A and B are shown apart, each in its own frame.
Chain A
């Protein structure tokens, strides 16, 4: 006899609610308010019951949970696609179908179940990236059926812009991340060694962190604009008061605090006896730093880096306000048009990107020598 385990029982609550809440909303036009549609009205009772069984099956504990939850998740997506097409039949010309609260609740519950099951299997780093890739491919395949769902209609209307913004978003987030790591770690080492520098540097970085991003962009327009106009070749490299440069600098500045703080904390955490032993072995300061201190502090430093990577992916959305592009373009245009599905077209890929960045970064960390035993 199989029973739901603790996770299964907990997730049964939101999953039940998913069937009680509207599965989709039918809007007479893009910005009108939605009229609620329940799953059983969209697909009929027999199908609704079948879907409920498919969705509930992975709640039970057992070896089959992984494929069952993946299947349930894919089914959930497919049902939304077909359901939307059904709703649009005979609807007004500009009518739109948006996923409802029930759909999102079910999607999140099933995704949690799937990721938890995967995490428990404790796969090797490469396998994790493989799972991510598989999820991505399956996601794309099911989204092909979403032609009548409003978010995909927003996507189709701006297909080429979407991928251009995606490239900019990734470039902005990872570029400023790399720059912050390259500068932040040496800065952290320096600040940890030279006690006099610690207070001024840390206080400056903390102060920067409290400046709202929009204000920081405003402060950067004039100096960067001046550089772009007066330094030969700077404009050619894309440096100017608007565009990529101010967003890059702002993200870089925000990223410094966690990296420097964690580097200092990591180096502080090395026991005095270890340093003593290293000295006793005759290592010079440079060797001690590279062979003993940095490797020992690395886990703490990497934790900081991981925070920064996810933070950067999220913060890069604000870059759209200064002409840097990225997924934020859709978020802010959507807000301006009160078109919630356009906002989602910017927000959902950002969430997915942050999640993917985390999985990939963790996998890379686990591949480092001496990490995984």
Chain B
């Protein structure tokens, strides 16, 4: 009898202890490493007991782990909520404010998860142009790009076949911004990733001067490319925001104020350069996060 009691007591004690620690996690990719370390170090600096489960796995694994309560907080992209709640065709995901609000409301209702302030950076599918060409043609937005290409601008785009063929990507850019790329103006890499397309544009392989990219790809600034702004909001917005379990936020309500200014400082250029330091220079993500937080004055050295 007493053994059972002791076991139950021990179980209660250990779960009690576990709930005191905030388990910080992130996705396994480069940006997951950077954002996860930023969250981890900020909580640590503010004396919140943390446990690190950074770079845990792909999106389904981290998401399931959060819902199951195995982890307490990780950064997720607002646009991904479209897939979590199975409504990818809803236009709300194309507006930054609405996308965040919708994700926030749906997740709080369904899973008691709270979406905190998102970063300004938008990590969505897009097109980047070589700096030298963009300067010369004065192209900064996709509207400019459409006009330039329609007027006979000399463009050659490297993209994956998925980007070229899926209705939500290039076809919808073309119809919205009023341009049409001929087969000669594209280099289609079947199954190509953004590393390959960026590489092609940077080195000018086969005359390529534009590339399919994700907004915050770390290689972009190193490759001398410029991300063209999706000014008519063709693509869903993918802003990273910390998603935390409501239960944990109740215990540590200060988490919101701690993380909010840091994420607001994460502009597209900033996140690109942080990712770039990890990906291109090979600096560990924790060091990159530490330097960013110290330089921004978010933690005292």
| B58 → A minimal CB distance (Å) | 6
Which of A53-61, A215-223, A277-285 touches B? A215-223
Given known contacts A154-B282, A157-B282, A242-B56, A337 and B30 CB-to-CB distance under 8 angstroms = yes
Interface size for A (C-beta < 8 A) is 38
* Residue numbers in B under 8 Å from A218 (CB-CB): 60-61, 64
Contact A225 B55, beta carbon cutoff 8 Å: no
Q: Tell me, yes or no, whether B174 is within 8 Å of chain A by CB.
A: no
The answer to whether B28 touches A333, judged by C-beta atoms less than 8 angstroms apart, is yes
A218 CA to B284 CA, complexed, in Å: 29
Identity of the chain B residue whose Cβ is nearest the Cβ of A33 in the assembled complex: B199
Q: Which of B7, B15, B33, B283 has the most chain A CB atoms closer than 10 A to its own CB?
A: B15
Contact residue among B30, B56, B70, B203 (Cβ-Cβ distance under 8 Å from A228)? B70
Pair A233/B57 contact, Cβ less than 8 Å: no
A242-B57 contact given A333-B28, A336-B29, A336-B30, CB 8 Å threshold: yes
Selected contact of B15 from candidates A154, A235, A321, CB within 8 Å: A235
Chain B residues 45 to 79 lying within 8 A of chain A, measured CB to CB, are: 53, 55-58, 60-61, 64-65, 68-71
Contact A157 B57 (CB under 8 A): no
Does A158 lie at the interface of the complex (its beta carbon under 8 Å from any beta carbon of B)? yes
Q: Are A225 and B68 in contact (CB under 8 A)?
A: yes
Cα A235 to Cα B15 in complex, Å, equals 8
Q: A203 in the interface, Cβ–Cβ < 8 Å? A: no
B28 & A336 in contact (Cβ 8 Å cutoff): yes
Number of A-B contacts (CB under 8 A): 105
Assess the B284–A322 pair: CB atoms within 8 A: no
| Chain B neighbourhood of A225, CB < 8 A | 65, 68-70
Residues in chain A near residue B56, CB distance under 8 A: 242, 322-323
Q: Which of B84-92, B138-146, B180-188, B273-281 is found at the contact surface with chain A? A: B273-281
Q: Which of A158, A221, A233 is B11 in contact with, Cβ under 8 Å?
A: A233
Q: B202 to chain A: closest CB distance in Å?
A: 8
Chain A residues in 8 Å Cβ range of B284? 157-158
Residues in A with CB closer than 8 Å to B29 are: 336-337
* A 318-335 binary contact with B (CB < 8 Å = 1; else 0): 001111000001001100
Instruction: Identify A321's interface contact among B61, B64, B70, B280, CB under 8 A.
Output: B61
Cβ contact within 8 Å between A222 and B68? yes
A153 CA / B57 CA spacing, docked (Å): 24
Q: How far is the CB of A198 from chain B (nearest CB, A)?
A: 36
Interface string of B266-301 (1 = CB under 8 A from A): 000000000000111111100000000000000000
Is the CB of B137 closer than 8 A to any CB of chain A? no
Q: Interface size (B, Cβ < 8 Å)? A: 40
Most B CB within 10 A of own CB, among A32, A217, A235, A329: A32
Task: For chain A, residues 137 to 192, give those with C-beta under 8 angstroms from any C-beta of chain B.
Answer: 153-154, 157-158
Residues in A neighbouring B55, C-beta threshold 8 A: 329, 333
Q: Are A29 and B68 neighbours in the complex by a CB distance under 8 Å?
A: no
Report the bound CA distance from A231 to B12 in whole Å.
10
The verdict on B252 contacting chain A, using a C-beta distance below 8 Å, is no
How distant is B139 from chain A, measured CB to nearest CB, in Å?
Answer: 25
B14 x A233 contact (CB < 8 A): yes
The contact string, 1 if C-beta is below 8 Å from chain A, for chain B 209-223, is: 000000000110010
B18 within 8 A of A: yes
Q: A221-B68, A225-B70, A321-B57 are in contact. Are A30 and B282 (CB under 8 A)?
A: yes
Complex Cα distance, B67 from A225, in Å, reads 10
A30 touches B11 (CB 8 A): no
Contact B70 A241 (CB under 8 A): yes
Which chain A positions have C-beta within 8 A of B222?
29
A266 on the interface (CB 8 Å rule)? no
Q: Mark A217-250, 1 if CB is under 8 A from B, else 0.
A: 1100110010011011101100011110000000
Report how far A232 CA is from B284 CA in the complex, Å.
38
Interface centre among B29, B58, B281, B282 (most CB of A within 10 A): B282
Q: Let me know if A31 is at the binding interface, CB within 8 A.
A: yes
- The answer to whether B203 and A33 have CB atoms under 8 Å apart is yes
Is residue A3 contacting chain B, with contact meaning CB distance below 8 A? no
B53 and A242: CB pair below 8 A? yes
Chain B residues within 8 Å of A232, by CB: 7-8, 10-12
Interface residues of A, Cβ cutoff 8 Å to B: 29-33, 94, 96, 153-154, 157-158, 217-218, 221-222, 225, 228-229, 231-233, 235-236, 240-243, 320-323, 329, 332-333, 336-339
6 closest Cβ pairs, A-B complex: A232-B11, A338-B195, A336-B29, A225-B68, A323-B56, A337-B279
A-B contacts besides A218-B64, A320-B57, 15 pairs, CB < 8 Å: A29-B222, A29-B280, A31-B279, A225-B70, A232-B8, A233-B10, A233-B11, A242-B53, A242-B56, A242-B65, A322-B57, A333-B30, A333-B33, A337-B29, A337-B278
